[in-house]
Amino acid sequence: MTTSVDLVPGLVTTRDAIAAAYGCGTFQGIEPADEAGMVFVYSDPSAGEEYGYTFDGRAEDDEFGPLYLYTGAGANGHHKPSGRNGSLITHAEKGREVHLFVAHGRVPGSGAMQQRYIGQMVLDPIKPYDVRRGPGKDGLMRNVLVFRFRPAEGTTPAWTEADRMPAAAKSDVEIVEPVVEVPEPVALPKQSGAKVKRTEQHSTAETVADIPAGQRKVLRREGELVKAFVAHLTAAGHKTHSFQITIEGEPGALTPDLYDATDHALYEAKGLTTRANVRMAIGQLADYRRHIPGRRELRVAVLLPSEPTEDVKDLLGEEYVELVYQTDDGGFAGWPLAYNQP
């Protein structure tokens, strides 16, 4: 094994060259290189389009900066968080670097696919993946893991506008399982094995390492809140899931936090009981409910970690949005929901 390939963002190379340099395979989308302490990820959005879904690509930046989505391994059947997918999920705790490539046309005079190196990535430490619905190679619908990559500290990704997620060809609503796992916080690996190419278009401030610790705690609290409420509903005999809502002409998907199928009620959870968070939840619910089957009878509710102020309660009531919040003893005030829709 040699190490003659310098991983500089923007480099155009081949799988064979990476395999020769770092000792990984050449055929799978996720290729661990154990001796090198790396995991190589090869993204090809056109492969998903062939089966009818387009989950791979640069998503819209959120409040924490850039985000790249990548569909995990498994051609048929539900994806599992093990095997090659597990090598991504555990990369931080095992100290392995993740390096992302995207397909970049064919090698001139050859059928081999070129790969453009985007840069070193880390999985989002709060929400490492989403569960999506998509057809397998056999045409059957299944759950797929869509990993959420952030640039590693010190990395300036070499992505372009062409790497953005393609827009959905049609609007659709699919049932998905809510992701209620709350990952344990881990130390994020810094970039160490790759050279950094800085450009005017990108700033190294846009990295997952810049998510404030306090904000991480808020997001974890939100995940823990949903997990506890799902357990509460399940104990009461209720069936829960969520939805994957794709909109024609728009990339990505909308994913409400939780749907109680027994009550026909949609919930949006927030990790802080503030006016700003409640206002955001009201807007999200207004958008989601337009696309849910049986929307006229659908009840919507905000799920909070504690009781809000009286004026915030009045705001929710005037918008016909129910309120459920966690009490000091771990219960949930406001549940079961009242039937006070207009």
The model's confidence at residue 228, banded by pLDDT at 50, 70 and 90, is very high
pLDDT tens by residue, 117-142: 999 999 988 789 988 888 888 889 88
Q: What is residue 2's predicted lDDT score, i.e. its pLDDT?
A: 46
Worst-scoring range by mean pLDDT, 5-14, 70-79, 165-174, 327-336? 165-174
With beta carbons less than 8 A apart as the criterion, state whether 291 and 173 touch: yes
Residue 183, pLDDT above cutoff 70: no
Average pLDDT over residues 225-243: 95
- 193 vs 131, residue with greater confidence: 131
What confidence tens digit (pLDDT) does each residue in 60-115 have?
Answer: 888 788 999 999 999 899 999 999 999 999 998 899 999 999 999 888 877 788 99
| 96: its two tokens | 């392995």
What's the mean pLDDT in 276-293?
A: 95
- Region 38-54 average pLDDT: 79
Output Rg (C-alpha) for the chain, integer angstroms. Answer: 22
Q: In what order do the strands lie in the sheet with 240-246?
A: 172-176, 240-246, 258-260, 265-269, 299-304, 322-326, 332-333
Mean pLDDT of the chain: 85
pLDDT of residue 329 exceeding 80, the answer is: yes
Query: pLDDT at position 108, please?
Result: 82
